[in-house]
Amino acid sequence: MRRPVVVLWLSAWWLSAWWLSAWWLSALLALGCARAERYPPRPPAADKSNEPKAVPLIPADWVWLEPKPGPDLRIVFVPATAAEWSQLPGFWNVAPAVPLGLPTIHLGLEALPAVAGWALAEQARSVRIKVPRGLPDPTPWLPPGNPPTMAKWRLGKKLFFAEVLPISNAEPISRADRTACVHCHRPEHGFAEKLATNRHGNRNTLSLINVVYRKQLFWDGRADSLEQTIVREPHDEKLPVADRPARHAWGSIVAVIREDEDYRREFQEAFGVRQPTQDAIAQALATYLRTILSGDSAVDRAAGPGGLNADTLEAFLDDDLLKRGGLKRDTAARQILLGHALFHGKARCHLCHPPPLYFDGDFHNIGLEASDLRQLLGEDLGRFEFVPVGLKEARLRGAYRTPSLRALPRTGPYMHEGKMDTLSAVVEFFNRGVSARSNLFVAKPLLVSPGRARTLELDSQEKAALELFLRALDGGPVDAMIATPKP
C-alpha cells in the first residue's frame, strides 16, 4: 500500500511544473491509505443460513419442468360411487364451480371480493368425466407428475389423430411418409386394429380402451407409464426410422411438430414451453389416452347388490347381442348367467381375469404354440426379458400380459400375435388347446396339472354360454368427444 505513495513522491520531485500539486496529491493519498489501514476489518457477513435460499433457475433447455402458467381447466373423474355421478348429464361435463346464480351473487358484493370470488370460481371450474358404470375410479392411477388438464387433453387428442409419425427417411417428409396413432389404434375397432399383427412388427395392436388402469404397458410390460409408451429412452429419438413402428418408439414426432406454428402456440398455452418437447408431447398424449373409457356393459348394469340377476339382465341386453345368437331375451339372459357361473367356477377364468377390470395385472404363459416366425427367431421370452436381473422367475418365460375382457367384440383378433380370430376359438383354446409343449411354467391350476395341459371339459352349450358371457362384458361405445377427431 505504501509503494504507490513512494512512487508518487519521487515523481512529484521530478515533475517540477507539477511540484506543488503532486506534493499535495501524494500527501493526501498517504493520509488516505493510512486512514484506511486504521479501519477495523470488515465484519463477517450476517448469518443467512436460516433465511430461505433462492431457488436456482431451471436451465433453459429444461423449461418443460416449469409449471404451466395461467389457469387451465382441471379434468376430474367422477366414479359411479360418488354422489355427484347421477347428476351429471353426460360423459363430458364442463362444470362451473357454483352452478347457478354466480353473477347474481357478484352483484351484491363489493368489487374486490367479487373479483376474488370470480377468480376462485374460475379456478374451481373443471371438466367432470362421468366414469362409466362398472369401472373403478381412475384417480388413483393418475401420476402426480402429470395431472390431467383441458389444454393438455386437447393437444393430446389433436396429436393422436394427426399424421405426425414419420415412417420413411424421405426428405422432405410428405404426408404419405407419415402415419398417425389413430391408423393403428382405430376407434371403430376398439382403438385396436383388425390385423393379427401390426404390419411393422410381430405384435397384435393393443386396444387403448381403459388403458388408464394399466401399471405396465405393452404385451411384455416393458413400459411403466403411458407417458413412456410414446418414447422411453433418449436414444429412441435416433432409432432408424424403419425400426420405429416395431419398437413403438415415436421419438421423431418432436422434429415434425416443431415445424408447425399452430403446435408451437398450443404447446405454449398448455405447458408454457416455447418449443414442443418430447416430455410435453408424452404428457399431452397420455392425458388424452387416460380418457378413453368404456364400461356400462349389460353385466355392469344388471349387477345389483345381490349379484347378477336374470330379470334385470333381460332388460339390458342390446339387440346386437341377441341378433348374433338368434336368441330370445329370456334365453339369452339365462345363457349369460350360466356363462357367468362357468367363468367364476368350472372354467376358472376369473383366476386371471377378475372383475371389475377382468385382468390381474400379471403376466402368464398360457401355453400358446409359438408361431413359425417366432421359432425361427429363437425362444420367445416375453415378459422374462424385461424383468430386472434378480427378479426373473421361470414362470415368466414366454409370458404375456393378461388382457382385459371388457371390449372383446371390438378388439379381435386375439392374443399377443393375434393368432385367434374369434371368441369361440379362444374358448376352444382354453377348453382343449393349451399346449404343454410350449415352455409352460404356469402355476395356475386351470392350465396345467403335473406334467400335462388340462382340459376344461366344457360341452357345446357351456362353450356357447361362456362366449355369450364374454360378449355381454362389452361396454358401451367410447364417448364421441373422445372417439371422433372433431374438437
Residues that bind ligand HEC (CB under 6 A): 160, 165, 179, 181, 183-185, 198, 200-201, 203, 205-206, 208, 211, 214, 217-219, 226, 229-230, 245, 248, 250, 285, 289, 347-349, 351-353, 364, 366, 368, 400, 402-403, 405, 408, 411, 414-416, 426-427, 430, 442, 444, 446-447, 466, 470
**Burial bucket for residue 444 (CB in 10 Å: 0-12, 13-18, 19+):** middle
CB of 130 to ligand HEC, least distance (A): 23
> CB atoms < 10 A from the CB of 94, how many?
10
Whole-number minimum distance, CB 267 to ligand HEC, in Å?
Answer: 16
Nearest residue (CB) to ligand HEC, 117 versus 201:
201
CA distance 364 to 402: 7
Minimum separation from the CB atom of position 451 to ligand HEC (A): 17
The CA radius of gyration of the chain, in Å to the nearest whole number, is 34
CB of 208 to ligand HEC, least distance (A): 6
CB of 302 to ligand HEC, least distance (A): 19
Which residue's CB is nearer to ligand HEC, number 22 or number 349? Answer: 349
Residue 467, number of CB atoms within 10 A of its CB: 22
Closer Cβ to ligand HEC, 126 or 229, answer by number:
229
Half-sphere exposure of 164 (CA within 13 A, CB side): 25
Nearer to ligand HEC, 12 or 470 (CB): 470
In the chain, the largest separation of any two C-alpha atoms, in whole Å, equals 128
Give the CA distances from residue 438 to residues 241, 281, 370, 395, 425, in Å, rounded to whole numbers and listed in that order: 34, 40, 7, 12, 18
Q: How far is the CB of 306 from ligand HEC (least distance, A)?
A: 24
Pick between residue 26 and residue 438 the one whose CB is nearest to ligand HEC: 438
The smaller minimum CB distance to ligand HEC, of residues 130 and 401, is found at 401
How buried is 228 (Cβ within 10 angstroms: 0-12 exposed, 13-18 middle, 19+ buried)? middle
Nearest to 218 by CA among 25, 92, 383: 383
* Min separation Cβ 448 and ligand HEC, Å: 9
Distant-in-sequence, close-in-space partners of 379: CB < 8 Å, separation ≥ 6: 397, 398, 439
Question: 173 vs 427, which CB is nearer to ligand HEC?
Answer: 427
